[in-house]
Amino acid sequence: YDDAFDAVVVGAGLAGSAAALTMASASLDVLVVERGTSPGAKNVFGGVLYTPTIRELVDVEDAPLERYVGEKRFGVLTEDDETAVSIQPGAWRDDPHNDSYTVLRGDFDEWFAEQAVEAGATLVTETTVTGLLRDDDGTVVGVETDRPDGTLRAPMVVLAEGGNSLVSEGADLKERPERGDVAVAVKEVLEFPDADDAIEQRFRLTGDGGAAYHYFGDGAVGDAFGGAFIYTNDDTLSVGLAYRIDDAVTTQPNPAETLDHFKSHPAVAPLVRGGRTVEYAAKTIPEGGAEAVPDLVHDGAVVVGDAAGLVLNNGVHLEGTNMAVESGYYAGLAVADAVASGRTKAHALADYPRSLESSFVVKNLEHYEWLLNAVEDDRDLLFSELPRAVADAGAEYFRVDHAPKHDHAANAKSRLFETVGGWRGAAKLAWRYRKVI
């Protein structure tokens, strides 16, 4: 082709399809190039899809959503204890269910890409973009693909290739992320052919309601910096974990062994018992926060979604899907304006970063910038010593024997205080994490 398209989108994930949909709706000729056999075929996530922006772009009535998230549960695991908090606001049972749904990406991404195609975009699958074309002054003017004669020229390229962004890095649009800014994740999907209603009963679900369980501590990911999860789908479970690559290459057993260990924890094993693995996958998560976000606009190109490091993973929130869609949408609007005015240099695309900065995406990344660093400094205390102390204190507080209750309460308090350093230590900790509290 020779400029047969106004824009080429690299990757039909959430960010790529949101950008394609937005540009096609603005009457641009858009080509989406996806390396998988279908959109989503290569995608790995937990996970919960957050839909506020998707819902504004398309009608999700017929979307392949699995279950709405009616319960969020956070559990801290030692080797053999669990201490957990569960949140089940009644309002989450009402439509649109806090915009949080479990999905299987193989189904959802395919459906979302179809919405872009219905809006007028062209989708090519089983094609990998191998590099970018540049003109004499360095402006990006198209892509190289792995197809014979697979060079495509276009005034604009949207890089939506996800966290493993080899094309963007190879073209110097961003630097390779530091090892400490990337997590490695493994995930499996389990089905329960021999246990009717296993998921409903084990997670106390009714109707379309589902649950998102998050786990931290030694029993979840050993000494590593990260966490584990279980999400309920219609009739399968998504079970996985993620931790820093730094730990994966140093102290931690490999991710598959760590996942097996997590699944054998006494508080987890009954939830996954009898599960048969129907999917097994691994992927990286960029989690460098606001500081690691590269330049979003270049002459002839924009970077969106995970490729731009737009993921909030602070332990309490793991949100990348909403950021991917929001960034794809704003990038799509900016590209449509730039193409319409015949100006595709970086400065003509400035509306994209400007919009993103005033949106929840950059605000959330900036707000929690400090958190990962703080948690990393306190990781032994938060993931190992404190969970052990809370479990011991809980067992002591509720102990039933011949001693009076106030003795047990005093012992429980001492156990906690010796770990955090008394009132002063507790106050310091509360102050340090006040923004989360």
For residues 306 and 182, give the distance between their C-alpha atoms in angstroms, rounded to a whole number. 11
Does residue 309 bind ligand FAD (CB under 6 A)?
no
Question: Judged by CB under 6 A, which of 5, 50, 101, 108 binds ligand FAD?
Answer: 50
Does residue 48 bind ligand FAD (CB under 6 A)?
yes
Name which of 107, 18, 120, 12 is nearest 63 in CA terms. Answer: 107
The count of other CB atoms within 10 Å of the CB of residue 406 is 8
Q: Which stretch binds ligand FAD (CB under 6 A): 19-27, 44-52, 373-381, 389-397?
A: 44-52
**Lookup: tokens for 243:** 């931790």
Coil/strand/helix, residue 399: coil
Does residue 174 bind ligand FAD (CB under 6 A)?
no
- C-alpha angle 147/152/157, rounded to 5°? 120
**Lookup: tokens for 300:** 């002839």
Site string for ligand FAD, 122-161 (x = CB under 6 A): ------xx------------------------------xx
Does residue 34 bind ligand FAD (CB under 6 A)?
yes
Nearer to ligand FAD, 55 or 345 (CB): 55
Q: Which residues of 143-166 are buried (b: 16+ CB within 10 A; e: fewer)?
A: bebeeeebebbbbbbbbbbbbebe
Q: How far is the CB of 314 from ligand FAD (least distance, A)?
A: 12
Contact 198, 344 (CB under 8 A): no
Nearer to ligand FAD, 49 or 267 (CB): 49
Q: Which residues contact 90 (CB under 8 A, 6 or more apart)?
A: none
Does residue 331 bind ligand FAD (CB under 6 A)?
no
Question: Judged by CB under 6 A, which of 7, 8, 9, 14 binds ligand FAD?
Answer: 14
Contact 44, 186 (CB under 8 A): no
Q: Which stretch binds ligand FAD (CB under 6 A): 10-18, 198-206, 269-277, 332-340?
A: 10-18
Q: Which residues contact 309 (CB under 8 A, 6 or more apart)?
A: 163, 177, 181, 286, 288, 289, 292, 293, 294
Site string for ligand FAD, 194-233 (x = CB under 6 A): ----------------------------------------
Does residue 181 bind ligand FAD (CB under 6 A)?
no
Does residue 11 bind ligand FAD (CB under 6 A)?
yes
**Lookup: tokens for 214:** 């998050």
Does residue 16 bind ligand FAD (CB under 6 A)?
yes
Nearer to ligand FAD, 10 or 30 (CB): 10
Contact residues for ligand FAD, defined by CB under 6 A:
10-16, 33-36, 39, 42-48, 50, 128-129, 160-162, 167, 185, 187, 240, 242, 283, 285, 305-307, 311, 318-321, 324
